[in-house]
Amino acid sequence: MGLFIRRWGGNKKLFDYRILHCYTVRRTIGLYGQQLEGEFQMPNGKVIAPGAVIGILGDGQLGKMIAMAAARLGYKVAVLGPIGRESPAGQVAYWAEAWGPNAQVEDEQFERFCSLVAVVLIEWENVPVGLLERIEARGIPVRPSSKVLAVAQDRLLEKKLARELDIGETMLLSIEKGYDLLNGRGDRTQDWPFETILKTRRAGYDGKGQARIPAGGSVGDAWTKLGNVPCILEQVVDFIGEVSVIVARREDGETAIYGPFQNTHRDGILRLTQYPISGGPMYDLRDSIREQGYAAARKLTEYLRVDGLLAVEFFVTKEGYVLFNEMAPRPHNSGHLTIECCDTSQFEQYVRAACNLPLGSTHCHSPGEMLNILGSEANDWLRRVGEDRLAVHLYGKGEAKPGRKMGHTTITAFAPNDE
Ligand code: ATP
Ligand code: MG
């Protein structure tokens, strides 16, 4: 160290800093060493090490953000989805191809994909369960598994599961071919004295596949409007707010949990997420909401033995009850702000859980807000890019159709003494 002092002595300030830095680094390495041996819980099971190729089914913005997190950890990504190379995820992937109509994957393409990947992740909920089963039959883990996806794809199955696990939910009845499945009645057209909402069991997103029915309105008419496909009928909840919770779980049962995120929807589409809950009617109830949301999300994750990620959406009633709405075995729009606001983003956490790496801290170091950029709002990108404390994400999608999620912005608020 004496030699060091003489050599760098010309610039006292720089020299002091360097010595301090060396000292700090050595101490920190020492601390990490202890942590790894002591407190740190190393995963049981097979670790998929950086350098491997991670497969992603679906090629939208969630895939893009998973791919970027995976790349940072040294993985490559192979993407199979409806658009392929020009898709949001395809643009940043190592390998990308488009599957056929209705997500059909021909044998040769299936072989090409399977020969590359060590594990497969999901970014789109409507991937055919059969495709996941085919991959699993090849001995390649799909995380979360085909069994989890089969439940999450069907509103009836997920609500029934919530009911079985004693998690409050909103379903009144289920309709299939004009027959009320839950109550065993042939008459499905009972008109309810309060507002209800009819939802297709499958393939709904961003409020699509839903019809609101006013008090006393005809369920039958709404069912016809939705094409007479299997549906569930829900009571419309007069909620004080909507929240979501995201759980990452490794195959050996280790979990990391985020939320509750406070979500505001407009026309059935998520508009704004705030984290943590920092005002409004849910503020005083925030501890109880967190407790109820975490308990419910953990019950579901444990029961389904999710390895990977599970996002759960809830309504919060005036009385402070947290009611299950739906779940998704993939990253969630409300978790996008974890990129800027938390130690580990939901995308990186998903990669960590799926590859059986140690999970990262979910600590929220900066409160923040995420606003979706919908349709033609994307044309305003130049002004957005220029604003302070605003992270802009543009997904690289082609046409800005009305309501289409084209990107999002996250604004972070720091404590004043961080200035
Ligand atoms: P997304 O893909 O955006 O999650 P989705 O199409 O899968 O949505 P839901 O989450 O069931 O459908 O509904 C979208 C939104 O519609 C909800 O977040 C909520 O704002 C409103 N909504 C749905 N069901 C109800 C209900 N039972 N009571 C009150 N509002 C509801
Ligand atoms: Mg939803």
Is the model's pLDDT at 66 over the cut of 70?
Answer: yes
| Weakest mean pLDDT among 2-16, 96-110, 129-143, 252-266 | 2-16
Q: Indicate the fold that domain 241-418 takes in CATH.
A: D-amino Acid Aminotransferase; Chain A, domain 1 (3.30.470)
CA distance 152 to 292: 20
* Distance from Cα 404 to the centre of ligand 2, integer Å: 15
Is residue 313 within 6 Å of ligand 1 at its C-beta? Answer: yes
Report the candidate in 312, 269, 329, 331 with the shortest Cα–Cα distance to residue 168.
312
CATH classification number, 53-152, choose in 2.102.10.10, 3.20.20.70, 3.40.50.20, 3.65.10.10: 3.40.50.20
Is residue 207 within 6 Å of ligand 1 at its C-beta? Answer: yes
Is residue 168 within 6 Å of ligand 1 at its C-beta? Answer: no
Is the model's pLDDT at 341 over the cut of 80?
Answer: yes
Atom of ligand 1 nearest to the CA of 197: 27
Please state, for a pLDDT cut of 90, what percent of the chain lies above it: 72
CA distance 268 to 248: 26
Mean pLDDT, the chain, rounded, equals 87
* Distance from Cα 312 to the centre of ligand 2, integer Å: 9
Please state, for a pLDDT cut of 70, what percent of the chain lies above it: 85
Q: Range(s) for CATH 3.30.1490 in the chain? A: 171-235
CA distance 149 to 126: 8
Is the model's pLDDT at 246 over the cut of 90?
Answer: yes
Is residue 17 within 6 Å of ligand 1 at its C-beta? Answer: no
Check residue 224 and give its pLDDT: 87
Asked if residues 310 and 328 have their Cβ atoms less than 8 Å apart, the reply is yes
Asked if residues 245 and 328 have their Cβ atoms less than 8 Å apart, the reply is no
Check residue 398 and give its pLDDT: 86
Alpha-carbon torsion, ordered 342, 363, 331, 336, to 10 deg: -30
Is the model's pLDDT at 365 over the cut of 80?
Answer: yes
pLDDT digits (tens, 9 = 90+) for 301-316: 999 999 999 999 999 9
Q: Range(s) for CATH 3.40.50.20 in the chain? A: 53-152
Is residue 403 within 6 Å of ligand 1 at its C-beta? Answer: no
Regarding predicted confidence, which is higher, 13 or 284? 284
Specify the residue with its C-alpha closest to ligand 1, atom 17: 268
Neighbours of 241 (CB within 10 A): 20
* Residue written as token pair 């369960």: 129
Neighbours of 287 (CB within 10 A): 9
Q: Range(s) for CATH 3.30.470.20 in the chain? A: 241-418
pLDDT digits (tens, 9 = 90+) for 84-121: 999 999 999 999 999 999 999 999 999 999 999 999 99
Atom of ligand 1 nearest to the CA of 270: 3
Model pTM score: 0.88
pLDDT digits (tens, 9 = 90+) for 400-412: 999 999 999 999 9
Check residue 11 and give its pLDDT: 37
Provide mean pLDDT across the span 342-367: 97
CA distance 84 to 98: 4
171-235 placed in CATH 1.10.730: no
Is residue 125 within 6 Å of ligand 1 at its C-beta? Answer: no
Check residue 322 and give its pLDDT: 97
* Residue written as token pair 């950029």: 373
Check residue 174 and give its pLDDT: 85
List the 196-200 sheet strands across, edge first. Answer: 179-180, 171-176, 231-235, 196-200, 210-213
Specify the residue with its C-alpha closest to ligand 1, atom 28: 236
Is residue 200 within 6 Å of ligand 1 at its C-beta? Answer: no
* Distance from Cα 196 to the centre of ligand 1, integer Å: 12
pLDDT digits (tens, 9 = 90+) for 122-180: 999 999 999 999 999 999 999 999 999 999 999 999 999 999 999 999 888 888 877 77
Is residue 206 within 6 Å of ligand 1 at its C-beta? Answer: yes
Check residue 173 and give its pLDDT: 84
| Weakest mean pLDDT among 37-46, 263-272, 337-346, 354-363 | 37-46
Is residue 241 within 6 Å of ligand 1 at its C-beta? Answer: no
pLDDT bin (cut points 50, 70, 90) of residue 21 is very low
Choice from 315, 333, 370 to test ligand 1 binding pocket (greatest atom count within 8 A of CB) = 315
* Distance from Cα 2 to the centre of ligand 2, integer Å: 64
